[in-house]
Amino acid sequence: MFDTLFSHLDTTWGLTILLIVGFVLLIKGADFLIDGAAGLAKRLNISDLVIGLTVVAFGTSMPEFVVNMVSVAKGVTDIAITNIIGSNIINIFVILGCSSLVYPLVSKKASRKFDIPFMIGSAIMVVAFTVFDGTISRGNGIALLVVFIIFLWFTFRLRKKEASDSTYVSIPIWKAILLILGGLICLTLGGQSIVHSATSIASKIGIPDSIIGLTIVALGTSLPELATSVMAAYKHNSDLAIGNVVGSNIFNVFLILGASAAIRPLPAYEGLALDSLMALVGAILVWVFVMTNKEKSIKRWEGLILLCLYTIYLVYRIYQTTIVA
């Protein structure tokens, strides 16, 4: 059904419009889903802690999750991998870079001792799979999902003693169901639109799926994190700005990449080792930045370094793929 509908837009301009519409549907779908699910959970007297660590955390990762599930179903494995690795690279180098330029980002002790090291660990696992296996196999995917369960268990234990300001509002059940259904429909249509248009555009202009996934798709699915972190930095809410990115990177690897590989093994593409290594370098840089000054923060000049490194990396990857190859 979707392929028939999309075939009428099989021009460069039509595919570009379809891509933009897909991102809009994806982002709004995630918003609807979070509002509906969080409102329903609050009405059922589920604690803010549980809502935040499950409903909201998963909801903000839904754009990446949906795009990956559609990609895996269609066998477009390059986009399934690069969507996650590219999103994680953009989260660190672009989103944290931009956010720290707006306002220096101060980290919390729990984030430095637990979340950031877990993010580094997730990047190390992807690099290890790439180097030793040359692919992300079904077994690798299951291993990532097991670590994700362990991460959730530790997170619940760690966060139980933290105070939480309630931001979730109870809503009528009928409204919650409508929001959830509307969100799922938007996410489905948006994911289908993005994968179809991205692969078609790549085919038309001769750019590999991996580059499209690393850039356009990864940036598009990271838009919610970009908006959230920059606005949080503007309001001097550093913990939200950093936590949003670190949490997203952890969910991306352990849950989304794990689920994708468990369903269909993800073979390596040209440049996977470099991309996964770049994600690891970014994770380590975040830890180094927050641990080497007394404010435990990512300063403006460090944010500028992140943005410059991303620019150099992106120019090299595009040159390597489109010119050298």
Q: Read off the CATH number of the domain in which 185 is found.
A: 1.20.1420.30
Q: How many domains does the chain have?
A: 1
Q: What is the pLDDT of residue 74?
A: 83
* Mean pLDDT within 14-35: 83
Q: What's the sign of the alpha-carbon dihedral 274, 276, 279, 285?
A: negative
Local confidence band at 209 (pLDDT 50, 70, 90 cut-offs): confident
What's the whole-number average pLDDT of the chain?
83
* Mean pLDDT within 189-196: 81
Nearest to 287 by CA among 119, 154, 71: 119
Q: Which residue range forms the structural domain that includes residue 57?
A: 2-324
Q: What whole-number distance in Å separates Cα of residue 244 and Cα of residue 134? A: 30
Element (H, E) at 61: none
- Bridge-based pairing of strands 297-298 and 266-267 is unpaired
Nearest to 305 by CA among 323, 289, 321, 287: 289
Q: What is the pLDDT of residue 284?
A: 97
Q: What is the pLDDT of residue 138?
A: 92
Q: What whole-number distance in Å separates Cα of residue 130 and Cα of residue 137? A: 10
Q: What whole-number distance in Å separates Cα of residue 325 and Cα of residue 314? A: 16
* Mean pLDDT within 270-288: 93
Kindly state the percentage of the chain with pLDDT values over 70: 88
* Mean pLDDT within 56-80: 81
Local confidence band at 168 (pLDDT 50, 70, 90 cut-offs): low
- Bigger pLDDT: 252 vs 53: 252
Q: What is the pLDDT of residue 162?
A: 56
What does DSSP assign to residue 213?
I
Q: Is 271 left (phi over 0), alpha (psi -120 to 50) or beta?
A: left
Q: Are 315 and 121 in contact (CB under 8 A)?
A: no
Q: What whole-number distance in Å separates Cα of residue 303 and Cα of residue 189? A: 35
- Tally: H helices and E strands in the chain: 18, 4
Q: What is the pLDDT of residue 133?
A: 77
- Bigger pLDDT: 167 vs 213: 213
Residue listed under structure tokens 């990956």: 68
Q: What whole-number distance in Å separates Cα of residue 281 and Cα of residue 124? A: 10
Q: Are 11 and 147 in contact (CB under 8 A)?
A: no
Q: Are 193 and 21 in contact (CB under 8 A)?
A: yes
Local confidence band at 2 (pLDDT 50, 70, 90 cut-offs): very low
Q: What whole-number distance in Å separates Cα of residue 93 and Cα of residue 71? A: 25
- Bigger pLDDT: 195 vs 129: 129
- Bigger pLDDT: 242 vs 160: 242
Three-point CA angle 50, 123, 71, nearest 5°:
80
| Phi, psi for residue 106 in degrees, rounded to 5 | -90, 130
Q: What is the pLDDT of residue 119?
A: 93
Beta bridge mates, 266: 136
Element (H, E) at 193: helix 173-205
Local confidence band at 100 (pLDDT 50, 70, 90 cut-offs): very high
Q: Is 93 exposed, middle or buried (0-12, 13-18, 19+ CB in 10 A)?
A: buried
Beta bridge mates, 297: 106
- Bigger pLDDT: 254 vs 54: 254
